[in-house]
Amino acid sequence: MNVNGIGTTGYPAWQGARKAQQNAAGKSFADQVNNVAGKKGHTVYMKTDDMLYSGGNGTGLSFYIKYAECSTEDDPTVIAKGVDENGDEFEQTIHINKINPRSATIVEMRALEAYTGVEKQNGFSSLPMGTGNMGLNDRRDFMDMFKNAISDMKLLSQKKAAAYYQYSMQAYWDFMSRK
C-alpha cells in the first residue's frame, strides 16, 4: 500500500525503524530492556541487633555496618558489607576517627551517623538530601551539603527541617573538633 508515495507494510514508520534496529542488534527492544533490567537487581539487608546500620539508596547501593572485632574505644572500627550500584559485592573496613565529613563517602557517613548516635527524626536520615544518587566511591563535602539544605529549608519556610539539619550538622562539626 502506498500513501502519498510512502510505502507501508502494516505498521507505523517508527516501528519500521525499530524493526530495522532489532534486526541489526539481533534482539528485540523488549529483550534489550529485560536484559538491562535483569542485571540490576536490588539487594536489601534486614537490620539485625548487631548491625549499626542497614540500608541503601536509589542507585542500588545497599549495605550494612557492624563493629569490627578489632574495634577499640581509641580506634572505633566498623566493617561495611554490601553490594554497590553495579551489583558487585564489597567489604570495607572503616576507621571512624579517620572519617572527614568534608570529603566522605555515603558509607563512611552512615558509619559516622551510627557511631555518633545522631538522632534520626521520625526514622529519617540525619544526612542532607542529595545522597540518593551517590555511588559507593563517590565523595562529597557533607558540611556544604548541610549548609545548602539548611538554606533551602529556610527559603521554603521549613523551620523545623532547617533546625534539624542544623542540629545534625553541629553533631558532625563536634566530631571533627574532637579529632
> Nine-digit cell at 108?
563512611
Report helix, strand and coil shares of the chain as percent, to nearest 5. Answer: 40, 20, 40
| Cα 133 to Cα 61: distance, rounded to the nearest angstrom | 9
Q: Report yes or no on 46 lying in a domain.
A: no
Distance between CA 130 and CA 136 in Å, rounded?
A: 14
118 and 139 inside one domain: yes
Residues 59 and 103 in one domain: yes
Residue 96 and residue 172 in one domain: yes
- The verdict on residue 22 lying in a domain is yes
Residues 28 and 83 in one domain: no
Question: Given a cut of 90, is residue 179 above it in pLDDT?
Answer: no
Both 9 and 79 in one domain: the answer is: no
For residue 44, tell me if it sits in a domain.
Answer: no
pTM for the structure as a whole: 0.74
Residue 123 belongs to some domain of the structure: yes
Q: Do 32 and 55 reside in the same domain of the chain?
A: no
DSSP codes, 31-99: HHHHHHHHH-----PPP-TTEEEEEE-TTS-EEEEEE-TT--SSS-EEEEEEE-TTS-EEEEEEEGGG-
Same domain, 82 and 131: yes
For 41-53, how does the pLDDT look when each residue is reduced to its tens digit (9 = 90+)?
Answer: 567 777 888 999 9
> What total of structural domains would you count in the chain?
2
Full domain range(s) for residue 8 = 2-39
pLDDT in tens, 54-113: 998 889 999 999 999 999 999 999 999 999 999 999 999 999 999 999 999 999 999 999
Condensed to tens digits (0 to 9), the pLDDT of residues 20-34 reads: 444 444 555 555 545
Strand order in the sheet with 62-67: 51-56, 62-67, 77-83, 89-95
Q: In terms of domains, do 31 and 59 share one?
A: no
Same domain, 113 and 29: no
24 and 64 both lie in a single domain:
no
Within-domain flag for 45: no
Considering the domain architecture, whether residues 73 and 31 belong to the same structural domain is answered as no
pLDDT tens by residue, 107-166: 999 999 999 998 887 767 889 888 889 999 999 999 999 999 999 999 999 999 999 999
* Same domain, residue pair 21 and 107: no
The residue to which cell 542488534 is assigned: 25
For residue 162, tell me if it sits in a domain.
yes
Whether residue 57 is contained in a domain is answered as yes
- Is residue 139 assigned to a domain? yes
